[in-house]
Amino acid sequence: MSTHQQWQSCTTLGGSAKYTSSSGEEHTSGQDVGAHADMVPGIVGSGAHVAYLVKHPDDVDRHMGPLARITLNSYKPAMGSTGKPILRPSEVYGTDMDGFHSSVKKWAEEKFPAKAPTYTRHENAYAEGDSVFNNYGPEHNEYWKKSPSHQAFREHPNHEVINHWIDNSHS
């Protein structure tokens, strides 16, 4: 995810690599091992994906080629829910550009639509971003009326659901 790129993170595996700059010069890059490099196998095993921001498609496979990256963490439907795991983006590492995060988020929502009302981050995913993903789609309004949470109360976009929760919390 971050090894031999233009940035370092706690998941950097360390070591050195040779790369050719855009001007054709050969360089060697060295990086220290990140504090959580030992988590990389679990992150990969969790089904996480990585989105890279590049100037040219060939740069994805080149050391020091990508400008930035976003990990798409895997989320599983919460206990008792049915559905497939989904991917949702965490933060940007490297040189962020306007539209990168929103583009990755849009892609993830289209390719991995949330069908269940709530999801939890895979236990082996790196703990960045939200640990729970709540789906406030209108098809789940009854779920949120029956299972309100303080998080849902702060975030839910439907006033009918919030008012239902307020009305029933005082009785």
pLDDT at residue 12, rounded to an integer: 64
Q: What would the two tokens of residue 131 be?
A: 């640990």
Identify the pLDDT of residue 108. 95
pLDDT class for 1, splitting at 50, 70, 90? low
Mean pLDDT over the full length of the chain: 78
pLDDT at 35: 67
Q: What three-state secondary structure class fits 81?
A: coil
CB 66 within 8 A of CB 53: yes
User: Is 0.75 topped by the overall pTM?
Assistant: no
Summarize pLDDT for 23-70 with one digit per residue, the tens: 778 877 777 777 667 777 788 788 888 888 888 766 666 555 678 889
Q: 37-41, 123-127, 146-150: lowest mean pLDDT where?
A: 146-150
CA distance 53 to 43: 20
* Rounded Cα distance, 13 and 7, in Å: 12
Select the more confidently predicted residue: 127 or 99. 99
pLDDT in tens, 80-113: 777 789 999 988 988 888 899 999 999 999 999 9
Asked whether residue 2 carries a pLDDT value surpassing 60, the answer given is: no
Q: What pLDDT is recorded for position 171? A: 47
